[in-house]
Amino acid sequence: MDGDKSFEDVVQTMNSLLKPLLLAFRCRKDEFSGETIWAVVNTKSDELFKSATPYTPSEIVFLKRIIDHIMSSSNDTYCINQHEATRLSKDILTTFTYKAAESALETFANDDWLVSFSSGKYTLGTRALLDLDTYLRDQFPNDTRECYMCKDICIMGEMCNNCDISMHKLCINRLFKNGTVRRAACPSCNEPWESINSFGPTDVIPDRKPRSARSSPSADNKNLGNVEYEDDDSNEIQPPRKIRHY
């Protein structure tokens, strides 16, 4: 039995113990850094934002409105700009001022619920995509894309022109090994893969880097164009180097 298999067994055991509590130990790749993030998440849709309890009730309402707006953005950008976001705070409470909304946005980005860009736009952060996976799939079945390769929700990727499957840009990068992409075929329908059907944020460098990237000097030069997966097998569960404590 090799080390990966042992870890897979540990994950399975943990998840069988967590299942009655409606919790699960899950991972996903950060769409910007490529880092694998592990977290214990809720599996019940109406447990939404249970782990966001340090926030005030107004902040939770505000965060939910922002996430719902991002998911239902009709232009496939999965983004909201700061002006649109702060407008969503308008009728929450008179005490929840414009300034409080701006401060909350910064907190949500620091806590990985959102990713902020220097352009002033926000998209969903890894914490939202991990913790709200069930909620997003249940509430936005027509707006939630699943990556054909890793099966995670995909907010930044490309679609096949022929059969409409979606893949993360990082998964495409891995699949086509950076450079053979022009000769690559869709893994579903086998038609040539043409990188023109993009969706998701057009900004590719977050203003605030993911927490782990901020502590890693080598991550400073990374952007979407040159991110490469480690040379491992994505179908195997890899032990986490770091587990985030939310």
Dist. CA 38–CA 118, nearest whole Å: 27
Dist. CA 225–CA 179, nearest whole Å: 12
Pick from 186, 213, 227, 237: which binds Zn ion (CB under 5 A)?
186
**Minimum Å distance from CB 147 to Zn ion?**
3
**Minimum Å distance from CB 20 to Zn ion?**
30
Q: Tell which positions 107-126 bind Zn ion, by CB under 5 A.
A: none
Q: Quick one: CA dihedral 73, 78, 80, 81, positive or negative?
A: negative
Q: Tell which positions 145-184 bind Zn ion, by CB under 5 A.
A: 147, 149-150, 160, 162-163, 168, 171
Of 137, 138, 160, 162, the closest CA to residue 149 belongs to 160
Binding status of residue 52 toward Zn ion by CB under 5 A: no
Of 49, 200, 39, the closest CA to residue 115 belongs to 200
CA 200 remoteness from chain centre: 11
Q: Tell which positions 201-230 bind Zn ion, by CB under 5 A.
A: none
**Minimum Å distance from CB 78 to Zn ion?**
15
Residues contributing to the site for Zn ion (CB under 5 A): 147, 149-150, 160, 162-163, 168, 171, 186, 188-189
